[in-house]
Structure 1
């Protein structure tokens, strides 16, 4: 008779563990009449090596979910596991170390140091940690993101799209378990946004990266393998390889309150 492995048993060698597992995530703000349930029992599994977009109406909890998954905020209840590591049991110093070494971030603001060159900005996490950069991986990332000719330039000498590429390269250099993007194309024009989204798509397809992105833009979400829809702090649906039209229709339904919970 075949038995199932224990809940905490190692994954079989033929199966890759999920990049993220969230169970029963609950997060509230305020109290009494001002109490807001930002997350209300969210369960979510994100496979490794996939591009996932998180979407929902304003106030649906998507940014709160991203922050809890990335260890930037703590849920009131529930658990989060990233790359096999349980975040909810870590203290602040351990969380800081985990974010620095295993999680990448790309934000709407590029967050580059203006006095440093592109190369120095990309390698900054290693300089801060006192660690040596894997030059082979560094060259691979720089080549894939088309930055080889811009490494000596400072942020003021780069376009918005080039600055975001530098931010993506910096996030990828640590080989993170997950790269999180919080509206990463929010400050970019349409053409540059498409360029950055293609680069994120490339990081998944060619570098086997896991990308989780919060966005309000159906066009941006159209680059993802999976779209997670939120409403009122709960999962309201998951779309697999959806078209822009399908994403737009579901978002419209959520905004109108016609929520079909998955």
Structure 2
């Protein structure tokens, strides 16, 4: 199944064509992705869902350049990342991709502000002070910048991770179960922040989740099964997502 948003190419942040991923060989051969064709509209929040083993995490890792695809092409901001060498791929991820993981991935010895600035510091680049101030204000972190991770709640730590992901104005932010370690109330706050980043900052977000409530914050939900895209929901609700997952045997 081909999933293509009704937008022009200039409105597409990420695009994959004929994407495949194969693990093992012979009797252990597994097709994790089977000729996936998908486009993600710029400035939209998309959730990817499916049963365990459906290929949703593999798809995200390939799209983000964290894992090599076995075949096909992936474009981020017009760049075919499948043709990049390791150094160029590392630079691309640093400049064009943001990540928000379940485990926060903050450096415990650094302050919140230093954690936010870390990607640019590693790249030897200066940050845009006005943009940093905007992000910090939007995420409610102004009074927490001098705190280290152990001095922050789980929700505050994830806000720092979101701020870090947004700082470089990336083409896309990938979220891997970003609320998996948070309680429901804090998770809702983080999801609201992700959604507002698309609507107020024009950020493109692609999130993998198993949670129907989390998916309901997205503009679009893509459904996967057996390494293929098998459905799409627009303006999802908890009820519509739950029903769709039920149809996939989840």
Which residue in the other structure is 1:73 paired with?
A: 67
Provide the C-alpha distance between the structure 2 equivalents of 1:22 and 1:231, rounded to a whole number of angstroms: 17
> Does residue 160 in structure 1 map to residue 154 in structure 2?
yes
Report runs of 4+ in structure 1 exceeding 4 Å deviation. Answer: none
State the Cα RMSD in Å.
1.0
- Say whether residues 1:182 and 2:176 are aligned partners: yes
The residue number in structure 2 matching 1:199 is 193
| Aligned residue number for residue 32 of structure 1 | 26
* Match of residue 251 from structure 1: 245
Q: Which residue of 2 aligns with 1:60?
A: 54
Q: How many residues align?
A: 243
Report SS of the residue matched to 2:12. Answer: coil
Contact 1:17–1:84 (Cα < 8 Å) also in 2: no
Larger radius of gyration: 1
Deviation, structure 1 residue 208? 0.5
Partner of 1:206: helix, strand, or coil?
helix
Cα pair 1:24 1:43 within 8 Å, conserved: yes
Once the two structures are overlaid, the 10-residue window that deviates more, 48-57 or 234-243, is 234-243
1:87-236 aligned within 5 A: 87-236=81-230
- In the alignment, structure 1 segments of 5+ residues that lack a partner are 1-13, 257-262
Separation in 2, partners of 1:195, 1:68: 28
Q: 1:41 aligns with which of 35, 41, 65?
A: 35
The alpha-carbon deviation at position 15 of structure 1 amounts to: 6.9
- Does the Cα contact within 8 Å between 2:217 and 2:236 map onto a contact in 1? no
Scaled by the length of structure 2, what TM-score is found?
A: 0.95
Please give the TM-score of this superposition, normalised by the length of structure 1: 0.91
- Aligned mates of 1:235, 1:15 — CA distance in 2: 20
* Stretches of structure 2 lacking an aligned partner (at least 5 in a row): 1-7
Distance (Å, rounded) in 2 between the aligned partners of 1:238 and 1:32: 33
